[in-house]
C-alpha cells in the first residue's frame, strides 16, 4: 500500500510545475481561511472589477482609449448604484419592515387556512399532521425571529463597516481597472519560475470567473425583473421585496430557489387564501424558475465548465461552510477550479513522461 502511494506521488508530483501549483493553491486557500474577513473588501472589489471589465472591453473595441473607457464605465456604474440606493433601497426597507410587522398575523392566517385542509382532503391529510406541521413552523419562526433580533443588535457596529465599504471598494475597483496591466505584472513577478500549470489553470479560470460573474449579474436582473412584473400583475403585496429576494436567490444554486419559495407562497396564501389566484401566482412563479434553470442559465453560462448538480451542491455546502457568503457565491467557479487542477495534474509534460519511461 505504501509503495503504491509512493508510486502515485512520484507519478503526479515529479513535475516541478505540479508541485508549484499545489503549493500556491494551498497557500491561497490558507490565507483566505485565516484572513477572509480582512480581505473581504478586496474580494468585493475583485467581483465588481470582473463585472465592469466586460463593458470596458466593449467600449475599447469602439476605439476609445482604455483610461477613458474605464472612467466612462466607472462613472456610469456609480450613477446606477446611487439611483438604486435612492429609489429602490427605501422601498425594499419599508416593505421589509411592514412584512416583519405583519408576520405574526400572517402566520395566524396561514394556521387557519391549514386547519381547513383535513376538511378539504380528508383522505390524504389528518388533523394530527397539520398540528405537528404548525407546531414545527411556529417554533422555527420564533427561532428565526430571535436570531434576526440578536444579529440586528450585534451588528449595529457593522453599519460603520458598511460605510467604509462604500468608500474603499469603489476606490479599489477604479484602480484595479485603471492599473490592470501593472498589477498583473506585479503578480507575475511574485510567481515562481515553474508556472506552466499555473498559467494553464489561471488562464482557464480567468475566463470562467469573468463569464460567471457577468452571467450571474444578468441572471439576477432578468429573474428579478420578471418576478416583479409577474407579482405586480397579480397585485401581490411586497412585490418589490419578493422580486429582489427571487433575483438574489439565483446566487445560491438550487438551494436559493427552494428557500425563497417559502416567503412567496406565504405572502400569496395570506393574501389570496385557497383560491385559484393563489394557484396562478404559484404556477407563474414556478414557470419563472423553470425558464431560468432550463433556458436562461444554459444561454448565460454556455462557456462555463458544465458540472453535475451533485458537484455543485457539494461545492455550495463545502465552500459555504468554509467562507460563508463568498464560498456560496463562488461555489461554481471553485468547483471548476478543482476540476481544472485535477485535469492539469493528470496531464504530464513530455519531459516528465520521458523521465518516467527512462526510470522504468
Residues 92, 98: Cα–Cα separation, whole Å: 10
Distance CA(188)–CA(63), nearest Å, equals 28
Q: Average model confidence (pLDDT) for the chain?
A: 77
Contact predicate 224/274, CB 8 Å: no
Q: Which one-letter DSSP state was computed for residue 203?
A: H
- The predicted pLDDT at position 243 comes to 93
Task: Report the share of the chain in percent with pLDDT over 90.
Answer: 13
Mean of pLDDT values over 304-332: 73
pLDDT-based confidence at 355, cuts 50/70/90?
very low
Q: What is the mean pLDDT of residues 93-98?
A: 84
DSSP 212-270: HHHHHHHHHHHHHHHHHHHHHHTT-TTHHHHHHHHHHHTTSTTHHHHHHHHHHHHHHHH
* More confidently predicted of 357 and 275: 275
56/45 Cα distance (integer angstroms): 16
Please list, in sequence order, all residues whose beta carbon lies within 8 angstroms of the beta carbon of residue 25, skipping any fewer than 6 positions away: 341
Domain map (residue ranges) of the chain: 15-349
- The pLDDT tens digits of the residues spanning 131-175 come to 776 677 666 666 655 555 555 444 444 555 666 677 888 888 999
Check residue 234 and give its pLDDT: 92
- pLDDT of res. 287: 93
Span 3-26, pLDDT tens digits:
666 666 566 556 677 777 777 778
Sequence-ordered list of residues with C-beta below 8 angstroms from that of 14, at least 6 positions apart, any chain: 352, 355, 356
Return d(Cα 45, Cα 43) in angstroms, integer: 5
What span, in angstroms and rounded, lies between the C-alpha atoms of 331 and 74? 27
What is the predicted pLDDT for the residue at 152? 47
d(CA 344, CA 198): 9
CA trace torsion 54, 60, 65, 71 (10° rounding)? -30
| Tens digits of residue pLDDT in 254-310 | 778 888 888 888 888 888 887 889 899 999 999 998 888 778 877 777 655 566 677
Amino acid at each position: 500500500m505504501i509503495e503504491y502511494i509512493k508510486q502515485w506521488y512520484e507519478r503526479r508530483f515529479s513535475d516541478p510545475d505540479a508541485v508549484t501549483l499545489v503549493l500556491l493553491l494551498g497557500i491561497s486557500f490558507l490565507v483566505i481561511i485565516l484572513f477572509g474577513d480582512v480581505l473581504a473588501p478586496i474580494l468585493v472589489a475583485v467581483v465588481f472589477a470582473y463585472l465592469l471589465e466586460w463593458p470596458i472591453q466593449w467600449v475599447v473595441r469602439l476605439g476609445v482609449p482604455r483610461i477613458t473607457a474605464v472612467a466612462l464605465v466607472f462613472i456610469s456604474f456609480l450613477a446606477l448604484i446611487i439611483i438604486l440606493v435612492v429609489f429602490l433601497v427605501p422601498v425594499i426597507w419599508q416593505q421589509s419592515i411592514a412584512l416583519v410587522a405583519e408576520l405574526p398575523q400572517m402566520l395566524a392566517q396561514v394556521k387557519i387556512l391549514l386547519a381547513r385542509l383535513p376538511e378539504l382532503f380528508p383522505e390524504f391529510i389528518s388533523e394530527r399532521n397539520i398540528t405537528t406541521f404548525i407546531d414545527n413552523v411556529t417554533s422555527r419562526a420564533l427561532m428565526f425571529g430571535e436570531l434576526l433580533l440578536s444579529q440586528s443588535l450585534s451588528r449595529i457596529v457593522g453599519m460603520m463597516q458598511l460605510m467604509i465599504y462604500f468608500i474603499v471598494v469603489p476606490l479599489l475597483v477604479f484602480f484595479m481597472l485603471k492599473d490592470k496591466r501593472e498589477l498583473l505584472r506585479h503578480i507575475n513577478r511574485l510567481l515562481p519560475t515553474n508556472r506552466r500549470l499555473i498559467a494553464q489553470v489561471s488562464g482557464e479560470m480567468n475566463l470562467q470567473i469573468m463569464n460567471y460573474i457577468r452571467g450571474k449579474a444578468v441572471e439576477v436582473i432578468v429573474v428579478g425583473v420578471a418576478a416583479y412584473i409577474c407579482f405586480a400583475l397579480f397585485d401581490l403585496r411586497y412585490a418589490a421585496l419578493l422580486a429582489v429576494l427571487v433575483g438574489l436567490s439565483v446566487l445560491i444554486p438550487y438551494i436559493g430557489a427552494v428557500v425563497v419559495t417559502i416567503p412567496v407562497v406565504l405572502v400569496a396564501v395570506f393574501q389570496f387564501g385557497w383560491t385559484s389566484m393563489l394557484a396562478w401566482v404559484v404556477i407563474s412563479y414556478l414557470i419563472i424558475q423553470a425558464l431560468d434553470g432550463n433556458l436562461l442559465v444554459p444561454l448565460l453560462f454556455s462557456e462555463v465548465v458544465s458540472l453535475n448538480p451533485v458537484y455543485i451542491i457539494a461545492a455550495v455546502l463545502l465552500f459555504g461552510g468554509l467562507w460563508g457568503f463568498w464560498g456560496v457565491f463562488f461555489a461554481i467557479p471553485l468547483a471548476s477550479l478543482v476540476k481544472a487542477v485535477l485535469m492539469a495534474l493528470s496531464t504530464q509534460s513530455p519531459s516528465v513522461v520521458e523521465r518516467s519511461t527512462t526510470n522504468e
